[in-house]
């Protein structure tokens, strides 16, 4: 009975996110407000999807994906033209060093061997960024921006954390943590793609 109630609650929360997107209203994800539009690199982006990353029954973070045009497949999202943004807000405290390790593992599980090899310098830099932060507390945020001609920009609490990581393979490998064949959370993947969520979850980053 408890499992059925939990599943019903998760489904209701997910449907609320999906419905909010359908009406182009600001989306409330576990108390985090995602605007329907943002401007990144001089381009207007729209919220493609948003949802919560769960680990077992616990909320870990809220995530929202912004693109120049709607995309409902991983390939379309990864190859969308122009700037892109993934904005994540923590819903519980997490060790920065551990988060960096989880992301690295998620990249390795989803990227091709060739792409992951090309991503190693950027992956090391990403690990250093999160290790330096030490702790991402509940309510803190980070975002991953893709800026054509510059690369991947990681910002923490709205402040750019390092120089852009230029290799496009790094950006693709990083985004596959959420959009790859073995995503951190299968329901979150569906929500980021603007779809009604499925019931299967994984247990990665």
CATH code assigned at 172: 3.50.70.10
**Rounded Cα distance, 12 and 19, in Å:** 10
For the four alpha carbons of 89, 129, 56 and 191, in that order, the dihedral sign comes to: positive
Instruction: Determine the pLDDT at residue 21.
Output: 53
Which residue has tokens 């330096």? 132
Q: Is residue 205 part of a domain?
A: no
Query: Is the separation of the CB atoms in 92 and 59 below 8 Å?
Result: yes
Beta strands in the chain (DSSP E): 27-29, 32-34, 37-40, 43-55, 58-67, 84-90, 94-95, 135-136, 141-147, 151-156, 159-160
What's the whole-model pTM score?
Answer: 0.85
Instruction: Determine the pLDDT at residue 25.
Output: 81
Instruction: Determine the pLDDT at residue 16.
Output: 44
Find the domain containing 27 and state its range: 2-192
Residue 81, judged by CB atoms within 10 A of its CB (0-12, 13-18, 19+), counts as: exposed
* Of 95, 120, 93, 96, the residue nearest 174 (C-alpha): 120
Beta bridge partners of 142: 88, 156
Q: Is residue 11 part of a domain?
A: yes
**Count of residues making up the chain:** 205
Instruction: Determine the pLDDT at residue 136.
Output: 96
Instruction: Determine the pLDDT at residue 9.
Output: 45
Q: Is residue 201 part of a domain?
A: no
Q: Is residue 199 part of a domain?
A: no
- Digit-by-digit pLDDT tens for the chain (205 residues) are 444 444 444 444 444 454 445 556 889 999 999 999 999 999 999 999 999 999 988 999 999 999 999 999 999 999 999 999 999 999 999 999 999 999 999 999 999 999 999 999 999 999 999 999 999 999 999 999 999 999 999 999 999 999 999 999 999 999 999 999 999 999 999 999 998 766 545 556 6
Q: Is residue 79 part of a domain?
A: yes
* Domain total in the chain: 1
Q: Is residue 30 part of a domain?
A: yes
Q: Is residue 204 part of a domain?
A: no
């Amino acid at each position: 009975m408890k499992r059925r109630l939990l599943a019903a609650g998760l489904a209701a929360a997910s449907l609320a996110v999906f419905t909010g997107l359908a009406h182009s209203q600001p989306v409330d994800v576990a108390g985090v407000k995602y605007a329907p539009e943002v401007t990144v690199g001089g381009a207007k982006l729209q919220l493609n999807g948003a949802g919560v990353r769960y680990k077992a029954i616990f909320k870990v973070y809220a995530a929202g994906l912004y693109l120049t045009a709607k995309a409902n497949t991983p390939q379309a999202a990864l190859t969308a033209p122009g700037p892109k943004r993934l904005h994540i807000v923590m819903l519980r405290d997490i060790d920065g060093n551990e988060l960096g390790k989880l992301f690295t593992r998620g990249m390795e599980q989803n990227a091709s061997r060739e792409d992951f090899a090309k991503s190693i310098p950027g992956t090391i830099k990403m690990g250093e960024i999160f290790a330096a932060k030490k702790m991402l507390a509940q309510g803190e945020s980070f975002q991953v921006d893709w800026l054509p001609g510059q690369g991947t920009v990681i910002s923490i609490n709205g402040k750019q954390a390092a120089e852009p990581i230029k290799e496009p393979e790094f950006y693709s490998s990083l985004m596959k943590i959420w959009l790859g064949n073995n995503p951190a959370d299968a329901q979150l993947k569906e929500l980021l793609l603007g779809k009604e969520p499925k019931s299967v979850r994984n247990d990665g980053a």
